[in-house]
Homo-oligomer: A and B are copies of this chain.
Amino acid sequence: MPRSRTRRPGSNHRESPHVQVLDRALTLLETLAREENGLGLVEAANRAQLHPSTTYRLLSTLVSHGFVTHDDETGRYRIGLKAFEVGSSFRPPSELRKLAPGVLRALMSLTGETANLAILERGEVTYIDQVESPSLLGMHARIGRRVPAHCTGAGKAILSRLSEEEVDAIIAEHGLPAHTPNTITERGRLLEELKRTREQGYALDNEEIEAGVRCVAAPVLDDKGRPVAALSVTGPVTRFHDDRLPMLINAIRAAAADLSSKLGYRPS
């Protein structure tokens, strides 16, 4: 209820308060998280668009809490154990965390491929759990990795269960950037693809985000029929050839149906 503002009407306080320093520190953290090998002080400052001096103070504070570690050998900063510790305490909504591992394990042993669980948040997909294939040539979409929705199996699987408005909102925010020649970059074609995905109950990523990598995915629905997540198996094209696709599709659909029903979804 937007209630009477006895104050002056010209107030612009529509948005939540922003604390600048914190804003910057978080950006810095996100920047570091993107760099496997850490960053030097100035490098970090440049990428985060901050003054080296500021960066130095922020990093010092982050280090003192263990959110960042400073490698004394190389002088590089990288994400620290405390960040891992805090991040690990994230709990996905619903019962997913409890139920998914079993389903993932089953899916992996059935297909022999790395099985992933992903969720959609703020228009992008994040892998939150996985069971790795023992195969040496297994693809491993790293847990915690955030990727665009329009060019991943998991993303398309979830999008296929959203309304056109919701999909449009995501396109508006993130666009449809190309990652490989196969990436779908036009709204029309994407909607078409999502329609087919929805009808068939699975999504295919045919080297759309990375050359040489294919992926089969299906949406996981909760008791209200909302697509809360997606299951996917990922692997090299050499193992995801047309002969094997039907098997993979069956497996992923069965697994998704299983998990959905465990979440209380009842197909209407």
- Kindly state whether residue A146 has any CB partner on chain B within 8 Å: yes
Measured between beta carbons, the chain B residues less than 8 angstroms from A101 are 132
Contacting pair A79 B85 (CB below 8 A): no
- Kindly state whether residue A58 has any CB partner on chain B within 8 Å: yes
- Kindly state whether residue A5 has any CB partner on chain B within 8 Å: no
Q: Provide the A52-69 mask, 1 if CB < 8 A to any CB of B, else 0.
A: 000011101111111100
Contacting pair A89 B85 (CB below 8 A): no
- Kindly state whether residue A236 has any CB partner on chain B within 8 Å: no
- Kindly state whether residue A214 has any CB partner on chain B within 8 Å: no
Which residues between 13 and 44 of chain A lie within 8 Å of chain B, taking CB atoms? 16-19, 21-23, 25-27, 29-30, 32-34, 36
Contacting pair A144 B19 (CB below 8 A): no
Contacting pair A56 B17 (CB below 8 A): yes
How far does the Cβ of A83 sit from chain B's closest Cβ, in whole Å? 5
Contacting pair A60 B18 (CB below 8 A): yes
Q: Which residue of B lies closest to A37 (CB)?
A: B91
When chains A and B are docked, how far (Å) is the Cα of A82 from the Cα of B85?
Answer: 13
- Kindly state whether residue A152 has any CB partner on chain B within 8 Å: no
Measured between beta carbons, the chain B residues less than 8 angstroms from A57 are 17, 19
How far does the Cβ of A71 sit from chain B's closest Cβ, in whole Å? 9
- Kindly state whether residue A198 has any CB partner on chain B within 8 Å: no
When chains A and B are docked, how far (Å) is the Cα of A36 from the Cα of B164?
Answer: 35
Measured between beta carbons, the chain B residues less than 8 angstroms from A105 are 134
Q: Which residue of B lies closest to A26 (CB)?
A: B65
Q: Which residue of B lies closest to A30 (CB)?
A: B86
- Kindly state whether residue A121 has any CB partner on chain B within 8 Å: yes
Known: A17-B57, A89-B33, A90-B79. A84 touches B144 (CB 8 A): yes
Q: Please name the 10 residue pairs, one residue from A and one from B, whose CB atoms are nearest each other, closest first.
A: A87-B87, A88-B144, A84-B90, A16-B60, A33-B89, A33-B86, A84-B87, A26-B65, A19-B61, A83-B87
A residues lining the B interface (CB < 8 Å): 16-19, 21-23, 25-27, 29-30, 32-34, 36, 56-58, 60-67, 78-91, 101, 105, 119, 121-122, 126, 128, 132, 134, 142-146
